[in-house]
Amino acid sequence: MGLVVQKYGGSSVADAEGIKRVAKRIVDAKKNGHQVVVVVSAMGDTTDELIDLAGQVSPIPAGREFDMLLTAGERISMALLAMAIKNLGHEAQSFTGSQAGVITDSVHNKARIIDVTPGRIRTALDEGNIAIVAGFQGVSQDKKDITTLGRGGSDTTAVALAAALDAEVCEIYTDVDGVFTADPRVVKKARKIDWISFGDMLELASSGSKVLLHRCVEYARRYNIPIHVRSSFSGLQGTWVSNEPQGDRKVEQAIISGVAHDTSEAKITVVGVPDKPGEAAAIFRAVADAQINLDMIVQNVSAAATGLTDISFTLPKAEGRKAIDALEKTKAGVGFDSLRYDDQIAKISLVGAGMKTNPGVTATFFEALTDAGVNIELISTSEIRISVVTRAEDVNEAVRAVHTAFGLDSDSDEAVVYGGTGR
C-alpha cells in the first residue's frame, strides 16, 4: 500500500463533530496500510469571519498582512485534527504550509506554487506519523513571508504534495458525492460520473462546474496524479479523474462527460470595429493591460458593405466595470462605434472527448436547445467542448434539455455513444 494524500474542505471540518468524523476516516486509511498525508481547509466559515474582521479594522485589507491573518484558519483546523487523531491512538503531526515546504512566489493573496520540498513531511511519515498540512498557504521563496494561494488553494496544495511525495492518489473529500453529469440542483436526474479524463474535467471546471477548480486539475494532469473526488460524509466511491482508468473499475464508455453551466459572467460587445489588421489586437491588449482574463471570444465575419465587424467576449461580472473603462480609452485609437454590456447571460457547455470528429454531437446539441425554445447568442467550440451563451433566464431549461438529449439522465438505459466505442 502506498502513500495517499487526502484533502478535506471546510464543510467537512465545520465543527468538533466533523473533525472527529474526519479523524476516524483518516485513521481507517492508516489502518489499511497507507501512509497518509492530510491537507485541511479552515473550519466552516472561519475564513469569512476573518475577512469580516479585517474589513472592520481597514477598508482595503490585502497583501502580506491579509495572508498572515487568513492562514490562522488552517492552523486551527489542522491542530484540532491532529489532536483528534492522537485521541484515536494514532500519531499525528501538523505542519504549516511553510513547514511542509510549499514554496511560492511573492504575489500575496493569490500566490503560485513554484516548488515543493516536503522533507519534514517525509520524515514524519517515516516515523509512523500521519502528517496534517495546512491547505491554501505557503511561504515566499525570496522574502520568506507567509502567502496564500487564492481560490482553490487547498485542493492545489493537496495535488502539489501528492506530486512531490509520489502519492498513489490524491483524494479530495467534499460535501457532494463526486462530479456529476450536470449540477444536481438544476438537473434532478444528473448522474455521478465514475471516471473522467483530466482533459474533460478541465473543460468542465472552466465551464462552471464547481467541484474541482481548473488550477488543481491542471496541476494533477501535469504530474499525472489521479484525483478521487468523494464525500467525507457518505464514504461512497466518488469520481476518479485521471489519464487512464484505475485498475478494474468499470469505465463509462460514453464520450459525453457532462453539461456545465455558468451564470457568473457578463458579455461585452465591441460594435463596429474596422475589419483590418491590428484592431482586434489593440482591443485585447487594452483588456489584458487591465489584468482581466477573458473567457469566450467571438468575432463574426465582417459585413462586406461596411467593412466593420463586431467582437464579443465574456468575462467575470466583477471585472465588467474595469473592462469597459479600459475599452473606452481605446475608442478613439481603434475607432469602434460603441460598447454593449450585458450581465444577464448564461453559458452552457457540453464536454466530451471526440465530439469534434462526430458531427452528430453538435447537431443534437443545437436541436435540443431549439426544441426547448432557447435562443443562442454566442457559440464557441474546442476539441472536446461546445459552449453557447443564452439569456440567463433560460439556463435551467437549456441544461435539462441538453442533459436529456445526450442520454445522461439517470433513468436512461444507456448514455448515447457517438462514434462507436468512444475510448
Residues placed in the known binding site: 7-10, 47, 74, 174-175, 185, 210-211
Out of 26, 36, 40, 69, the residue judged to bind a second copy by CB under 8 A: 69
Distance CA 1, CA 14 (A): 30
Query: Least CB distance from residue 58 to a second copy, whole Å?
Result: 4
253 makes contact with a second copy (CB under 8 A) = no
| Residues in the annotated binding site for ATP | 7-10, 174-175, 185, 210-211
Shortest spacing between CB 314 and a second copy, in angstroms: 34
Beta sheet of 385-391, edge-to-edge order: 256-262, 345-352, 385-391, 378-382
Site for a second copy in 8-37 (CB under 8 A): 16, 19-20, 23
82 binds a second copy (CB under 8 A): yes
Residue from 1, 28, 32, 58 touching a second copy (CB under 8 A): that is: 58
Q: Is 50 an interacting residue with respect to a second copy (CB under 8 A)? A: yes
Span 127-186, contacts to a second copy by CB under 8 A: 144, 146
* Least Cβ distance, residue 367 to a second copy (angstroms): 55
Residue closer to a second copy by CB (options 127, 328) is: 127
Whichever of 123 and 224 has its CB closer to a second copy, that residue is 123
Q: Shortest distance, CB of residue 80 to a second copy, whole angstroms?
A: 5
Binding residues for substrate: 47, 74
Residue 189 binds a second copy (CB under 8 A): no
Radius of gyration of the chain (CA): 23
Q: In Å, what is the CA distance from 11 to each residue of 235, 264, 333, 344?
A: 15, 23, 50, 30
Q: Minimum distance from CB of 57 to a second copy (Å)?
A: 4
Residue 61 or 407 with smaller CB distance to a second copy? 61
Using rule CB under 8 A, residue 56 touches a second copy: yes
- The DSSP code sequence of 376-423 is --EEEEETTEEEEEEEGGGHHHHHHHHHHHTT-STTSSS---SSTT--
What are the contacts of 17-23 at 24+ separation with CB within 8 A?
Answer: 18/43, 19/43, 19/77, 19/80, 19/81, 19/84, 20/84, 21/232, 21/233, 22/81, 22/84, 22/173, 22/232, 23/81, 23/84, 23/85, 23/87, 23/88
SS3 state of residue 115: strand
113 makes contact with a second copy (CB under 8 A) = no
CB of 85 to a second copy, least distance (A): 9
CA distance 176 to 377: 32
CB of 5 to a second copy, least distance (A): 20
Q: Residue 320's closest CA among 349, 287, 289?
A: 287
Q: Give yes or no for residue 111 binding a second copy (CB under 8 A).
A: no
Give all strands (DSSP E) within 207-344, no chain letters. Answer: 227-231, 239-242, 256-262, 265-274, 297-299, 308-316, 338-342
Residues lying near a second copy in the complex (CB under 8 A):
16, 19-20, 23, 50, 53-54, 56-61, 64-66, 68-69, 71-73, 75-76, 78-84, 86-87, 92-94, 96, 99, 120, 144, 146
